[in-house]
Every structure is written in structure tokens, then in C-alpha cells.
Amino acid sequence: MVNKKWSRRFFIGVCITPALLLLTLFMVVPTVQVFRMSLYSWGGFSNNQEFVGLNNFILLWDDMNFIRSFQNSIVLIVFVALATIIIALFFAYLLTNAKVKGSSFFRIIFYIPNILSIVVIAGIFSAIYDPESGLLNNVFGMFSLENLEQKWLGNQKIVIYSVAGALVWQAIGYYMVMYMSSMASVPKSYYEAASLEGAGKMRQFFSITLPLIWTNIRTTLTFYIISTINLSFLLVEAMTGGGPDGSTEVFLSYMYDQAYTNSTFGYGMAIGVVVFIFSFVLAAIVNRITKRDVLEY
Amino acid sequence: MMKSKNLLLTISFVLFSLVLVACSGGDETTSSKESEGKSDADGKTTLHIAALESAYGSDMWTKITDAYEAANENVEIELTIEKNLEEIVRPNMQAGEYPDVFLLATGRPEALTETLIKEDGLENITDIFDKNVYGEDVTVSDKLLEGFTDTLATNPYGEGDTYLAPMFYSPTGLFYNAGLLEEKGWEVPTTWEEMWELGDLAAEEGISLFTYPTTGYFDTVVGSMLYASGGTDFYNHTMTYEDGVWESEEATRVLETIAKLADYTHPNTVANANPNDFTKNQQLVLDNEALFMPNGTWVVGEMAEAPRAENFEWGMMPIPAFEDGEDRYAFTFFEQIWIPAAASNKDAAEDFITFMYSDEAVSIFLESGAIQPVQGITDLLEGENKMYYSIYDEGVLPAMGTFASTEPVPGVSMGDTLYGAIDSVMSGNLSYEDWQKNIEEASDKLRPAMN
């Protein structure tokens, strides 16, 4: 009996060892390294790594460029998450509940941006935002709304929202499909009953659909945080280079700048640590405040 | 039961040893490579060359490799030539495996060369210049054009020691459509005063005076202007972060002029001044929407396929003088070749570098349009290139140099503060007074970190 128990444990142990090893080697060790390097002053190559304690973090506190990049990242996370969630829910509801002709065709169309590489998206949006021949300014021109025409990538007050626009565009399809799949599993009879009781489409959405897919929405909130942090870096690098004059710099692009271009690798890792902690804490907070009783149906 | 247990034991043992092999394998190969680096069985040295594939293409490097292997039988060359060279070699370097020779200029966004300079990672190659060019009876310094090894771009620590050798050079200046100026009967301006007058004239025709690809291109403009405003000594003071230098009259004149240029800059410039769209700004000049842009001779090749206005013809002029009769400068941009201090074949690497200045190498590079600062090079040039490279024959002075190297200072970047902020100056979000204050502050923070 004891022998059997032991061999069972042994079997489990052997099965999870490869995964554990890989996890340690490729996740835990590098993460610990990032934390360790953030305490050093190091350029990236030489052997003279000087231990400076928390000095990198103290410097960060006074670095206005870092604070600006942090603000930009927060603006992006909030704006992209809100805009995407509203638009994706709207279209998901429309495509599952209203009898739209060719709904699977629309589903594919909406999903396409998600499979495009971020560099392609940067190219598409630099064409859309072009001050002269861009789609956006030309559409405004067509409707005689010249006062709405902008230098979308040149005006430093709005350029961060231009970046956000591109991120929302590429994210909608993915989240829409996720919401559609959970909406499809809501029994039709609930809607029928509700409409017999006289509830309109809006009422049905807020009282039936939303509560029943809430678990799904909660999960996607974490996705929004992680994907916006990552994708904003890629998009900013490809589309604006952090410019004009740093106004679209996000914290990861600033970290990259500091770790490599400015040869302050340790300082870059300190930014990495802040980003790491920030995204964890934010995800935890969001998770906590959106906690509701899970409705079973 | 017993059987399956044995099987499990075997599996776990195999897995464990696999992991061990995977971990130790890396070390083994590096150690064998290192010994191989010195010389292999038949006495040949393997020299690892890492070169950036730039607009000149990769062909010339393969040819150079063949030529050197033919000339020097004791050497076998392993060539890494990539457009994203930094990303390719960085992981190996962090693991301790360094190429022996690098052709990689300063001023790249990844700043690998600067990082090594800041970390004292370059080999002192001052003695190379007294050596004979490989296969010839002339010393390297006799072959080189004067002045190319006297600046902070080759002697980053400001002393007499040289750490980087100059390779391909390119004069920079303001590029324009010579055909358009001729057609309108406009004179090429020589002073800023004339520049503003031309700007007003052009504005009446709906043409902007100025545009720039990205703010990074201002390094040559600001450099030339600093030289023109205060001379060589003043330029060197700015490059070595001397206290108060950015608040001096000479510097103020430079910054004020750039701020004034904002009124004459094409309105779309800032929106396009990013890595994705900078060619749109260059296109403004081709389309006669803007007159001048700062650039280097590479722009001709870069925009070769682009549509252009009728009668378009490239012209290049030095940065205008501040007053009539004052000196005018055209900044010379050059790429550098260097040896990492951690390289394993330094002597062979030095020989290879001297070979770069041989007649054979010069002509191979020249075929691909890469031009080296060697004696008599302008006589070998033809066509447009001759026009650009003979800019200094007409009384225009060459400007060269870069900021002195410092220990890495977190969060402080002279490039961003001085050049990057120009986007904000142009869009009116930053007054030149605040800009000046920021530059002086950055300079103050970098001064104590100079190495």
C-alpha cells in the first residue's frame, strides 16, 4: 500500500519535472536576474558590475521622462481597455443576438486585424494618420469638417490617443470572438422569457447577458493589462519611435532605451522591476474589485 | 510493477542527463572555440569579423574577405554581416564570445559601440596608424586624410589615444532640388539672413523653406553650427560638457536660429519625423514642397526609386554662415572600425584593419559606393559623388566629432535633450529658453561622469 502510494508520487514527480525545470530555467531564473540586476550599476558588457543598492529606484523617482512614460502607459491601458470592451461587447451582442446577415463573415473581418503583425499595423495606421493623404483627414475633409483635421502623429497632445486607436482596432476582433463564445452559451429561453415580460434589448443585455458572461469579462480585463503593456511597446517602436520628443514613450520603450541606447542596463532593469510589480498589482486590484458571485445556469 | 518503475527510473535518468548535457554543452563549445580562435591545426588563425550591412550592401564585405584571405594565407575569416548586427552579436558577447573586428559606427539606436566605449571595452589601436598597410610600404597614417583621427569620434576619451579607426565617410549638409532653385532664379543662400529671405520668397509660392527626416539628423546640423558659431575650441568645449557652455552667446545663437527655423518648417514635418514615415519628409523635397533638408549623401540612393518633380536634380550646400564672410562648415559623418578589448586575436585583427586602407580594399569598397578618407580619393570619384565629396574644395571647412564618452548616467541622454527635443521646439511646445536650460542641465549631469 505504502509502496503504491510512493510509486504514485514518484510517477507524478517524474511527469512534472520537465515542466518544472523549464519553468525554472526560462521564467524564474531570468526574473530573479532582473530583480538582481536592478540593484547594480552596469553597462551591459563589462565585468564591473557595481552594487548600488536601491539607488536606481531613487533615481527613477526623480526621472521626469520615466514618469511621463508611466503616465502614457496608464493612459493607454485605461483607454484601450475601456474602448475595446465597449466596442467588442457591442458587436458581440449584435452578432450573436440580432439576426445580422452574414454574421460569420463579419466575425472573420473583425478578427483579421488580430492576425496582422504589429509592424503591418504600424504601416496601416501611418497611412491612415498621414496629414496629407491620410484616410482620416480626407474623410473629415469630405464632410467639410476641416476643423477636425489633425496632425495625428505630430500633435503632441493627441498623439498618444492615435496610438491607442491603433491598439483598439487590432484588439476588438479577438475580444469580440471571446465574448461571442460565452454569449452563445447563454440559453435562448432566458431572452424569450425576458421579452415576454416586456424587457427591451438594452434591458436584456444588462440584466441577462452581462451578468452571465461576467467571469469571461473578468479574465479579459487581465488580458487587456498584459497585452496593452506589451503591444504598446511594439507599436510605439515601429510607428512613432517614442516621438515626437518622447510624447508616445511607454515604460517598456523607455526601459529599452535606458538598458541599451543609454548603456544603463541596471537602471533599465529597475524600470523592468517597477513594470513587473505594477502589472501584478494592477491585475490583482482589478481582479479583486470585479469579483462577483458566479452565476450558474 | 517493478518493470514500470524501472522504466520510470530510466526515463527520469535520461531526462536529467539530457538537461545536464544541455547546460554543459554550451561551456564546452565556447572553450573549444576559444582555443580554436588562436590558431587551428594547420596554423591558420580564424578571424571573426562583424560588420553592419548598411546601404552599401554585403557584397563588398565578401569580396574584402576573399581578397584578404588571398593576401594573407595564415588567416581564415568568419564573417558576420547583418542589418541588425547588434541583436545578432549581443547575446554571444554577453556570453563572453566577442568578434575580433567590428565595423559598427557610433550613433546607432542600439548604441552597442557607445556602450563598449563607456565600459572601456575597446582596444587601444593608436599603434595601428604607424604600421604599414598590409601588403604595402606606406603607413596607415600616411594614407589617411588629415584630421580624421583627431576627434572624439576616434579618440572617445579625449586624450591622444585612438580607439576607433575611420572607415566610410560622407559629407553632410542641406540637400535641395537644384533644378527648382534654377527654375525660380533663386540664389543658393550662404548666410542665415539670406536663408530667411529665401524662406519668405518661397512661402509666397506655397513652398516651405525647411524640413528634416527625423530629429536625429540634427546632430550634423548642430555640429556644423557650433563650429561656425564659435570655432573648433568652442565646439570641443560643448562636446566635453564645459560648465555654462550652452548658455554662452555662441550657443544661444545656434539654438535661437534653430528655434527661428520652426517658422519656416513644413507643417507636416513633425508628424512624419518618426522611423516609419521619415521618407515622407524626404519626399517633400522631391515634390518641391520644401526646399532644404539636412541629410547625407546616402539619401540619393535611399530615394532613388521615389517619384520626383520635373527637372529634379540633387544639390547639397553647407550649413549657412551666421554673418556674411564667416566660416561655413559641412559636417563629415564617418563609420568606424574597432577591436573589442575582449577579442581573442588582437594582432591578426590589427593587421586586418591596416588592410582596409590598401589600394585593393579601397577600390573594392569604392565599387559599392563606400568611400574611405584616404589620400587621392576625390580623384577616383565620378558624377554626383564627385560633387558631394569636393564640397570642401570650395573653402567650406570640415566639421567632425561627437560628444565625449561618459560613464553611463541613468536617465540622462544628451541626444534626446539636444536633438530629440527639436520636435517640441518645432511644434511650439518648447521655447528655446527652456530647451537651452534643459541642455545645460543634462550637460551638468554628464560632466562629472566623463571618463
At B25 the pLDDT is 42
Neighbours of B309 (CB within 10 A): 14
- Between CA B150 and CA B146 the distance in angstroms is 8
pLDDT score for B8: 59
Q: Are residues B121 and B200 in the same domain?
A: no
Mean pLDDT of chain B: 88
Quick check: B96 contacting A, CB < 8 Å? no
Which tens digit of pLDDT belongs to each residue from B270-279?
999 998 899 9
Structure confidence by residue, pLDDT tens digits, A178-189: 999 999 999 999
- Are residue B58 and residue B100 in the same domain, yes or no? yes
Mean pLDDT of B390-409: 87
Kindly state the DSSP code that residue B166 receives in the 8-state scheme. E
Q: Which residues contact B172 (CB under 8 A, 6 or more apart)?
A: B220, B294, B295, B296, B297, B330, B331, B332, B333
How does pLDDT run across B3-45, given as a tens digit for each residue?
566 665 666 666 555 555 554 444 433 333 343 444 555 678 8
Is B342 part of any domain?
A: yes
**Is residue B11 included in any domain, yes or no?**
no
Q: What's the N-to-C CA distance of chain B in angstroms?
A: 70
B162 and B204 fall within a common domain:
no
Residues B272, A131: C-beta atoms closer than 8 Å? yes
This prediction's pTM: 0.85
- Distance set, CA B291 to CA A260, B221, B268, B280, B396 (Å): 36, 16, 14, 14, 21
The reported pLDDT for the residue numbered B12 is 60
Stretch among A191-200, B123-132, B379-388 having the lowest mean pLDDT: B379-388
Instruction: Write the CATH number for B225.
Output: 3.40.190.10
Q: What is the ipTM of this complex?
A: 0.86
Q: Let me know whether B413 and B300 are in one domain.
A: yes
Write out pLDDT tens, residues A192-238.
999 999 999 899 999 999 999 999 999 999 999 999 999 999 999 99
The answer on pLDDT for B379 being more than 80 is: yes
Residue B33's pLDDT is 39
Distance between CA atoms of residues B313 and A185, nearest Å = 67
pLDDT of B447 > 50? The answer is: yes
Any domain includes B152: yes
* Most confidently modeled range among A104-108, A259-263, B86-90, B243-247: B243-247
**Separation CA A180–CA B438 (nearest Å):** 52
- B419 and B278 assigned to the same domain: yes
Q: What is the mean pLDDT of residues A71-77?
A: 96
Residue of A261, A265, A273, A274 to mutate for B, most B C-beta atoms under 10 A: A261
Do B146 and B271 reside in the same domain of the chain? Answer: no
User: Amino acid identity of A260?
Assistant: Y
Look at residue A138 and tell me whether its pLDDT is greater than 50: yes
Q: Are residues B298 and B341 in the same domain?
A: no
Q: Which residues contact B368 (CB under 8 A, 6 or more apart)?
A: B56, B57, B59, B60
Range of the domain at B376: 42-169+333-386
Domain check: are B140 and B178 in the same one?
A: no
Give all domains of chain A, ordered by start, each with its CATH number. Answer: 37-289 (1.10.3720.10)
Judging contacts by C-beta atoms under 8 Å, the chain A residues touching residue B119 are 43-46, 48, 263
Tell whether A6 lies on the interface with B, counting CB pairs under 8 A.
no
The residues near A51 (Cβ < 8 Å, ≥ 6 apart) are A39, A40
Partner residue facing A241 (CB), from B93, B115, B274: B274
Q: Distance, in angstroms, between A169 CA and closest chain B CA?
A: 19
pLDDT at residue B11, rounded to an integer: 61
Digit-coded pLDDT (tens) for A48-67:
788 999 999 999 999 999 99
pLDDT above 70: residue B120: yes
Is residue B308 included in any domain, yes or no? yes
* Collapsed DSSP state (helix, strand, coil) of residue B26: helix
- Exposed e or buried b per residue across A118-145, where buried means at least 16 C-beta atoms within 10 angstroms of its C-beta: beebbbbbbebbbbeebebbeebeeeee
- Which residues, numbered 172 to 231 in chain B, qualify as contacts with chain A under a Cβ-Cβ cut-off of 8 Å? 214-215
CA distance to partner chain A, nearest, from residue B153 (Å): 17
Which residue has cell 554585403? B58
Strand bridging mode B45-52 / B75-82: parallel
Nearest-by-Cβ selection for A154 from B271, B408, B416 = B271
Which pLDDT band, with edges at 50, 70 and 90, does A296 fall under? confident
SS3 content of chain B, % helix, strand, coil (to 5): 50, 15, 35
- Residue B351 contacts residue B100 (beta carbons within 8 Å): no
> Integer distance in angstroms from the first to the last C-alpha of chain A?
42
In a domain, B376, yes or no: yes
Residue-wise pLDDT tens digits, B340-374: 999 999 999 999 999 999 999 999 999 988 999 99
Give the per-residue pLDDT at B129: 93
Q: Nearest CB to A245: which of B109, B115, B421?
A: B421
Provide the 3-class DSSP secondary structure of residue B376.
Answer: coil
Q: Tens of pLDDT along A164-183?
A: 999 999 999 999 999 999 99
Which pLDDT belongs to residue B94? Answer: 83
Residue B413, pLDDT > 50, answer: yes
Same domain, B163 and B179: no
Structural domain contains residue B278: yes
Q: Which of residues 244-273 of A touch B (CB under 8 A)?
A: 244-246, 257-258, 260-264, 266-267
Question: Residue A132 above 90 pLDDT?
Answer: no
DSSP assignment of B97-150 equals ---SEEE--SS-TT-HHHHHHHTT-B---GGGGGSBPTTSSSBHHHHBPTTTTS
- Return the DSSP state at B221: H
Residue B201 lies in a domain: yes
Domain count, chain B: 2
- Looking at the domain assignment, is residue B19 inside a domain? no
Residue A28 CB partners (closer than 8 Å, separation 6+): none
Nearest CA in chain B to A65: B411
Measured between alpha carbons, how far is B145 from B172 in angstroms, rounded to an integer?
17
Strands (DSSP E) contained in B27-72 are 45-52
Please give the distance of CA B141 from its chain centroid, rounded to a whole number: 21
Closest CA to B254 of B235, B237, B240: B235
Q: What Cα–Cα distance (Å) separates residue B392 from each residue in A11, A32, B47, B170, B219?
A: 79, 55, 37, 12, 19
- One domain, residues B257 and B190: yes
In the 3-class helix/strand/coil scheme, how is chain A assigned residue by residue? CHHHHHHHHHHHHHHHHHHHHHHHHHHHHHHHHHHHHCCEECCCCCCCCEECCCHHHHHHHHCHHHHHHHHHHHHHHHHHHHHHHHHHHHHHHHHHHCCCCCHHHHHHHHHHHHHCCHHHHHHHHHHHCCCCCCHHHHHHHHCCCHHHCCCCCCCCCCHHHHHHHHHHHHHHHHHHHHHHHHHHCCCHHHHHHHHHCCCCHHHHHHHHHHHHCHHHHHHHHHHHHHHHHHHHHHHHHHHCCCCCCCCCCCHHHHHHHHHHHCCCHHHHHHHHHHHHHHHHHHHHHHHHHCCCCCCCC
Helix (H) or strand (E) holding B283: helix B278-286
Whether B160 and B209 map to the same domain: the answer is no
The neighbouring-strand residues paired with B49 are B79, B101
pLDDT value of position B40? 53
> Does residue B222 register a pLDDT over 90?
yes
* Interior angle at CA B369, CA B189 and CA B364, nearest 5: 150
Q: What is the mean pLDDT of chain A?
A: 92
Q: Distance (Å, rounded) from C-alpha B197 to C-alpha B292?
A: 14
Task: Kindly state whether residues B56 and B156 are assigned to the same domain.
Answer: yes
Asked if B116 lies within 8 A of A45 by C-beta distance, the reply is yes
What is the count of residue pairs from A and B with beta carbons less than 8 Å apart? Answer: 144
pLDDT at B9: 62
**Do A152 and B271 make contact, defined as CB atoms within 8 angstroms?**
yes
Return d(Cα B332, Cα B169) in angstroms, integer: 7
